[in-house]
A = this chain, B = another copy of it.
Amino acid sequence: MGTKIGIGLLGLGTVGEGVAEILQNPQGRHPLVSDLELIRIAVRNPKRVRSIKVDESILTTDPQLVVDDPSVDLVVEVIGGIEPARSLILRAIKAGKSVVTANKAVIARHGVEIAKAAAAEGVYVLIEAAVGGGIPIIEPLKQSLGGNRIQRITGIINGTTNYILSRISDEGIPYGLVLKEAQELGYAEANPEADVEGFDAADKIAILSGLAFGGQVDRSSIPTKGISTLQNRDIDYAKKLGYWIKLLAIAEQKDLGELEDGSFPLAVRVQPMLLPFDHPLAGVNGVNNAILIEGDPVGKVMFYGPGAGSGPTASAVVADILNIAGVRKLGSATSGLDPLLAAGPWRPCHLVDSNSITQKNYVRLLTKDTPGVIGCVGSCFGKYGVSIQSIVQFESSELGAEIVVITHEVTQGQMKNSLQEIKSLQEVVEVVEHLGCL
């Protein structure tokens, strides 16, 4: 089908091997795959035993050699981490080469710098594999939903935490034990912090938000709460009330808070949330991911699939490579960029004050087991305008009574103030947990 496109691969871990596997076995795939030629691969250890056969002569331990190789037209970065990934991506751009990367950490933190450099050089930086593993989500957001005003993105976008929460929900095993098993199965890293504290999900929702709303928000200001301190008791109580608990990442348009410069107000957050059994995301279990997008006029569309793994991630990486190969068929790269594929920013966006975020809430209180305590808690919420959907006493023991409150939709400011006062009530021993609720 014409001239070959030279691919340089940075990294030959599980994802890199998956990509090489596809490129080396094009038969039965889209014919454009046959146009791709793996020119050079940067690896840490050329002698390592691998699950696929690669020609040793194309391996090198110097990633710069891959980027600089004149036969490499397109650089695929799958080494992960911030450096040297960032520098290598910028070096490739500088050399006029398009880049495909699966690296959400680098894009969430240095996306603006990278996008600027790419626009200046007239090359693409595509990131389908950075969010949602094998799920086509970046491309639909960029190319298929452009006619919409996006209102909200709600995602289960971290497979590790979804696996852990699914196991706890189903089997009631303690968090520590599930985490250990997840680590043994390769679903969680030895240092699980980025996953279980919600940082990985925050990276990803920052990326999705930028594409959906047209402007980047400050990644470091996204309110983020993970699952490491979540207690099984809350998962049990939620289930009794008709909810699962999932780690959700949400980005939504806010009606109020537009800045004088026209900057668009967004509420973005990552937190464990209660999800009604009949919610479209409720059936998303194990390491699967799903992203629900609400827009006008499309309504609600959802994308579901494997959130990680060699094969799915490689599928997404190759999708990006093919897209670049596809537009290259139209002529030389110097004639401009497809604005949908390039996906540059098109309006300024900012995060609203987190106290103004509205949502339903789940609160678990440990109280003294005395009559009138429910009335007392109820009045205190009422004082701050927090209207209550349900209030249930679950257990009473020598420690006291456990009371679970589900509120209607209120601001986080109202919640903070009311919980502050509830904490100080004589009847209340402790505000044990406070989660969001859909």
Contact = CB atoms under 8 A, between A and B. Distances in A.
Interface of A: 1, 18, 21-22, 28-33, 128, 134-136, 139-140, 143-149, 214, 278, 280, 282-283, 295-306, 309-312, 314-319, 321-323, 326-327, 329-331, 335-341, 346
Given A139-B144, A326-B143, A339-B329, A301 B301 contact: no
A323 B340 contact: yes
A144 B337 CA distance: 19
A322 B340 contact: yes
A309 B299 contact: yes
A314 B301 contact: no
B322 A147 contact: yes
What is the interface of chain A mostly: helix, strand, loop, or mixed?
mixed
A140 B143 CA distance: 10
A327 B337 CA distance: 8
Closest 5 pairs (CB-CB, A-B): A297-B311, A147-B318, A136-B144, A301-B305, A30-B146
A139 B149 contact: no
A86 B305 CA distance: 37
Contacts of A283: 278, 280, 282-283
Given A29-B147, A329-B336, 5 more contacts: A136-B140, A146-B318, A302-B304, A304-B304, A330-B335
Contacts of A305: 298-302
A337 B29 CA distance: 19
A33 B340 CA distance: 11
Nearest to A302: B304
Nearest to A278: B283
Contacts of A280: 283, 304
A336 B331 contact: yes
A296 B309 CA distance: 12
A147 B30 CA distance: 6
Nearest to A328: B338
Contacts of A148: 29, 315
A299 to B, nearest CB: 5
